[in-house]
Amino acid sequence: MEVTVAKSAGFCFGVKRAVEMVYQEAEKERKVYTLGPIIHNEQVVADLQQKGVGVLESVEDIKEEGITIIIRSHGVGRETLEALQKKNVQIVDATCPFVKKIHNIVQEKQQEGYGIIVVGNASHPEVEGICGWCKKECIVVETPQDAVKCTFPPGKKVCVVAQTTFNYKKFEDIVDILSKKSYDILIMNTICNATEERQTEAGTIARLSDAMIVIGGKHSSNTQKLYEICKAECLDTHFIQTLDDLDLNLFQSFRSVGITAGASTPNNIIKEVQSYVRKYEQ
Ligand code: F3S
């Protein structure tokens, strides 16, 4: 059996960096908290909890002094950062550099007189954070209907950015509508290609494999999407959460097996599955 593991399986660069930063901080003397769960993976959060890392939902929940507070990869708005700076805590900023770049763009463009449009989901923490770096004139657009209703006046200088995980096709549709609204428009495509790369690679491997294993959380929508992409290319695609869900008997007759994993699947689970399946590799 030949086993191919997707290079882009699991954590993207920004999440990997943030999780590593938390583990590094956990080694130190101070008590460590993340502001919100560092990642939507119960095993990782539980493992960190065992190492003494707690989760606080907001700055108001900080009751101790001299502790470390870690900002996760989604980033936070200016107000939250300033509220943190007023506390007697050590701040470790694990904001993904690609998200930080958007914070810088919106600040700079607003200073130049642009109104800001963030294409994304208004209640997503990343979008809340981006809007938190705009002093005024910031509109979130999630659907073509929102774009039609956009209230900036014609002729206004408008800078458009996107939530990093926004779907590119939907972004294009929204930009099309906004471009027809007689704004002096500046489009910054800030979509991160980590998700697309993961999906494209999964599809390619699934097409070339007899069977495919997709690892990820039951409720993870990006893993579900990966599963659908793989299933369309390879009928024998299996969705598992951990090694326990894997029935290797199903795979013994296959010559080639591919493995990929959703964005919040830790590397050790991918490795475990990989070495288990590789026992049958020739
Ligand atoms: Fe990940 Fe950063 Fe992109 S968190 S999805 S690498 S924007």
User: Which one of the listed residues 65, 108, 126, 233 is annotated catalytic?
Assistant: 126
Tens digit of pLDDT for each residue in 164-194? Answer: 988 888 999 999 999 999 999 999 999 999 9
Helix (H, G, I), strand (E, B) or coil at 181: coil
**Alpha carbon distance 270, 53 (integer Å):** 23
Considering the chain, what percentage of its residues have pLDDT values greater than 90? 84
Helix (H, G, I), strand (E, B) or coil at 210: coil
Q: Write down the pLDDT at residue 278.
A: 85
Q: Write down the pLDDT at residue 219.
A: 79
Let me know if 27 is a catalytic residue. no
For residue 224, is it left (φ>0), alpha (ψ between -120 and 50) or beta? alpha
Q: Does 246 score more than 70 pLDDT?
A: yes
* Beta-carbon contacts of residue 173 (< 8 Å; ≥ 6 apart): 144
Ligand 1 cavity residues, CB under 6 Å? 12-15, 73, 96, 98-99, 164-165, 192, 194
User: Looking at residues 32-55, what average pLDDT do you find?
Assistant: 92
What is the reported pTM? Answer: 0.88
Residue labelled with tokens 């009751």: 63
User: Looking at residues 30-45, what average pLDDT do you find?
Assistant: 91
**Alpha carbon distance 7, 4 (integer Å):** 9
CA-closest residue to ligand 1 atom 6: 14
| 136-139 contacts, C-beta under 8 A, 24 or more apart | 136/110, 137/110, 138/106, 139/115
Q: Write down the pLDDT at residue 282.
A: 55
Considering the chain, what percentage of its residues have pLDDT values greater than 70? 99
User: Looking at residues 43-57, what average pLDDT do you find?
Assistant: 94
**Alpha carbon distance 83, 56 (integer Å):** 14
Paired with 158 in beta bridges are 115, 185
For residue 163, is it left (φ>0), alpha (ψ between -120 and 50) or beta? beta
Distance 279 CA to ligand 1 centre (A): 33
Token output for 275: 């070495």
Using 50, 70 and 90 to split pLDDT, how confident is the model at 160?
very high
Q: Write down the pLDDT at residue 281.
A: 65
Q: Write down the pLDDT at residue 164.
A: 94
Using 50, 70 and 90 to split pLDDT, how confident is the model at 253?
confident
Q: Write down the pLDDT at residue 199.
A: 93
Distance 25 CA to ligand 1 centre (A): 21
Q: Are strands 90-93 and 138-141 parallel, antiparallel or unpaired?
A: unpaired
Measured from the Cβ of residue 143, the count of other Cβ atoms closer than 10 Å reads: 13
Choice among 97-101, 174-178, 252-256 with the minimum mean pLDDT: 252-256
Phi/psi of residue 23, nearest 5 degrees: -60, -40
Q: What is the atom index within ligand 1 of the atom nearest the CA of 15?
A: 4
Q: What is the mean pLDDT of the chain?
A: 94
Measured from the Cβ of residue 208, the count of other Cβ atoms closer than 10 Å reads: 14
Q: What is the atom index within ligand 1 of the atom nearest the CA of 13?
A: 6
Distance 215 CA to ligand 1 centre (A): 19
Supply the DSSP string of 114-139, one letter for each residue: -EEEEES-TTSHHHHHHHTT-SS-EE
